[in-house]
Amino acid sequence: MAADQPVVPLAEGIEHDLSEWEKATAAVLRKTRRLAEDAPDTDVWSALTTTTLDGLSITPLGTAHLVADVPETGLPGEAPYTRGSGTADPELEGWDVRGWFTDPATRAEDLTTELENGGNSLWLTVGERGIAADRLAELLEPVFLDLAPVVLDAPEDPVAAAEAFLAVCRDKGVDPHPLTNLGATGADLDVIVRVATLAKGAGVRGVVVDASALHDQGASDVQELAWSMMVAVTYLRALEAAGLTTDEAAAQLEFRYAATDEQFPTIAKLRAARALWNRVGEMSGIGEEARAQRQHAVTSRPMMARYDSYTNMLRTTVAGFAAGVGGADAITVLPFDEPLGLPTPFSRRIARNTSSLLIHESHVAKVADPAGGAYAVEKFTDDLAMAAWELFAELDGLDELEGVADLDAAAQRLVPLVEAVRNDRALQIAQRRRPITGISEFPNAAETLPERAPYPVAPQVHRYAGEFEQMRDEPMAQPVFLATLGPIAAHTARATFAINLLAAGGIGIGSAGPTADVAEVLDKYLEAGAPPVVCLAGTDAAYGEWGADLVAALRENGASYVVVAGKTDLGQDASAAMGLDALAFLRQMREVLA
C-alpha cells in the first residue's frame, strides 16, 4: 500500500482515515525503534508487511480497496467454493476428526477408543510402513464401517490394501461409509485407475491427491497448491481415459493439504485450493456439484520438533484452528510426539482432544467461513490462487486441460524451486527471523528426550528444526565460559541471549555471575578451569569502561577464542548479535570447541 492510496473510512460512520492510523502506528514503531525518527508515517506499511516465502505480501491492515479487483467468492457451499465446499458429513458438528494410526502393533481397542472419544474417522497406514493388510479384519472387527469412514494409506501396494479392506466390508455384510477413501496416491496411473474402479463399485472414493507430501519436503504454499492441481488433473485424465465420466472421475478425488502454525496463510491456502479446483472443473467440463473439493488437512510434520516436543501441542493447536477456519472437511491433528517415533495413547488423546476443544468449547465451527469478508484474508486467498495457477500452468506445460501429463517430469521441474524455498526458509530460521520455540529460542539444554518406539520405516520429512537438532544430538563436552560484566540487572539481557544461542547448538555455559571488575571475572574464570573459549556479556558502557582490558587479561590466562555478545569491537575473535546467522556461528563455535 502506498501513500497515494485513497482515503478509506475504517468503519461505517467513523470519520477517521488511514493517515490517522499511519500516524498512530508510526508513533509506536518509533518508540520500539522499528521506524526511524525522520521516516514518513507511510513507511509503516513496509515495516509491518510480511512477505512470504513465495514473495507474496500480507498487509498489516485490511481495507476495502484491497478486494476491489478480487472476484466474488459466493456463499459457503456454492461455486466457486472459496467459502466452503459443502462436502462435510451433515451428521457432524464441526469437521471430521480423523485419527492417524501407523503402529504395526495397533489394536482394535485403539481404534474403538479413538471413535468413542471424539474421533469420527480413521486414517490407517497399511503395509511396510504401518499395519499389515492381513490384520485389517482383526482391527476393524468392532468398528461400524457404515458409520465411521476409513481412509487408507498404502504406498507400497494400494490395490492389495483396498481389496483387503473391501473384503472386510463384505465379510461384515455392510457397505462402507460413503466418505471412506481407499487412498490410492502416487505416480503409477494404472494403480490409480484400478483402485478408483474398486472404489466406484463400492460407492466410495478411491484416490487421494496428497499435496502434504510435497510440503513435507519443504515446499511453499504456492508450490503445494500448484502441485495438487497438477496431480489432480493428471488423475482426472487417467480416469477419464479408463472410461469414467468427468464427474465420476472428479468424485473419486480427495485432497490432502498441510496446515501450519502460520494461521492466516493456512486459512487462505485451503480457501484458495477450493477455488483453484473449481476453476479446473469449469475448464474440464465438470458439473458444478462435482467441482466441490473434499479436503483433508493434516497438521504440518516439518514444523514439529523433537526437542521440547510438548511445544508441538501449541503448534498443532494453531494449525488445527487455521484448518477449521479455512474450511477443511476433515482434520488430523498429529500427536505431539510424532517426530520422536510412534505415538502413544496419551499423545493420540491430546491430538484428538485438540479438535474437540476447538469445536465444542471454542465453537470454531459454529460459523461457516469465519474468515470470509476479512479484506486481508480475501486478498491473500486471491494472491495465492493466482500465483499457484501460474505455477500450475508451467508444470502442466499445456494450454488446455487435455492430453496426458508426466508427473515425474513435473516433479523434476519443481525440485530446484522447492530447494530455493528450503534455502530461504533455512536462512530465516538461522537468522532467527523465523524463531522455533524450544529449538532456536529458549532451548532447554538439560532436556532428556522422551523415548518412543521407532517407525517401521522412518518418514521422509525435511524438518525445519533439523540442523539445530543435529547439533543438539551431539552436545559439546567443552563448555563456553560466560564472562558477565557488572551486576545481574546490567548483563542479564545479553547473557540470556548468549546462553540461548549457544544452547541451541548443543553448547553448555559456565557463567561468572555478578562481577565488579576485571580481577573478579578473572578469578571466576580461573576457578572454572580456564576454558579456552569465552563469551563476554555486558552493557555497551561496561564494554567501553573495562571490556578491552578484560579481553586482554583472559587471553593472557588461557583464553584462545573470545566472543562478544553485541556489536562492540574489543579485539575479539567473533561477535554474537541479533540478526547473525546462528547456524553458521554455532558451526564455527563447535569447530573451535572441538
Q: Is residue 139 part of a domain?
A: yes
Q: Distance between CA atoms of 110 and 99, rounded to whole angstroms?
A: 10
Residue 315 in any domain: the answer is yes
Indicate whether 499 and 574 sit together in one domain.
yes
589 and 502 fall within a common domain: yes
What is the rounded distance in angstroms from the CA atom of residue 110 to the CA atom of residue 182? 21
pLDDT tens digits for range 390-400: 999 988 764 44
Query: pTM higher than 0.75, yes or no?
Result: yes
Residues 534 and 389 in one domain: no
Q: Treating both helix axes as pointing N-terminal to C-terminal, what angle do 189-202 and 221-241 enclose, rounded to 10 degrees?
A: 70
Q: Count of CB atoms within 10 A of residue 24's CB? A: 12
Q: Is residue 104 located within the same domain as residue 44?
A: no
pLDDT digits (tens, 9 = 90+) for 8-58: 555 666 667 888 899 999 999 999 888 999 999 999 999 999 999 999 999
Region label for 513, one of left (φ > 0), alpha (ψ between -120 and 50) or beta (otherwise): left
Judge whether residue 559 has pLDDT over 70: yes
78 touches 313 (CB < 8 A): no
- Statement to judge: residues 253 and 125 lie in one domain: yes
Cβ atoms of residues 542 and 491 within 8 Å:
yes
Q: What is the pLDDT of residues 427-458, one digit of tens each?
A: 999 998 899 999 999 999 888 899 999 999 98
Q: Which DSSP category does 71 fall into?
A: P
55 found inside a domain: no
Q: What's the start-to-end Cα distance of the chain, in Å?
A: 51
Q: In the listed set 349, 383, 417, which residue is the last one of a domain according to the structure? A: 417
Cα 538 to Cα 487: distance, rounded to the nearest angstrom: 9
Q: Taking residues 419-434, what's their average pLDDT? A: 94
Residues 147 and 268 in one domain: yes
Rounded mean pLDDT, 147-171: 97
Specify whether the CB–CB gap between 322 and 266 falls below 8 A.
Answer: yes
Using one digit for the tens of pLDDT, what is the confidence trace for 458-512? Answer: 889 999 999 999 999 999 999 999 999 999 999 999 999 999 999 999 999 999 8
Q: Is residue 445 part of a domain?
A: no
Locate cell 530447494: which residue? 419
Cβ–Cβ under 8 Å, residues 269 and 226: no
Question: How confident is the model over 362-408, as pLDDT tens digits?
Answer: 999 999 999 999 999 999 999 999 999 999 998 876 444 444 457 88
Bridge partners, 208 (sequence order): 254
38 and 132, same domain (yes or no): no
Annotate 26-58 with DSSP letters as a single string.
HHHHHHTTSS-TTS-GGGHHHHH-EE-TTS-EE
- d(CA 392, CA 386) in angstroms, rounded, equals 10
Residues spanned by the domain of 281: 96-417
Length of the chain: 594
Q: Phi then psi for 254, rounded to 5 degrees?
A: -125, 140
Same domain, 131 and 258: yes
Predicted confidence at residue 430, as pLDDT, reads 92
Residues 144 and 264 placed together within one structural domain of the fold = yes
C-alpha cell at 274: 477450493
Query: Do residues 307 and 100 lie in contact, with contact meaning Cβ atoms separated by under 8 Å?
Result: no
The three-class DSSP label of residue 527 is: helix
Domain count for the chain, please give it.
3
pLDDT tens, position by position, 212-255: 999 999 999 999 999 999 999 999 999 999 999 999 999 999 99
Residue 583 included in any domain:
yes
Among 417, 439, 464, the domain boundary falls at 417
Q: Are residues 352 and 478 in the same domain?
A: no
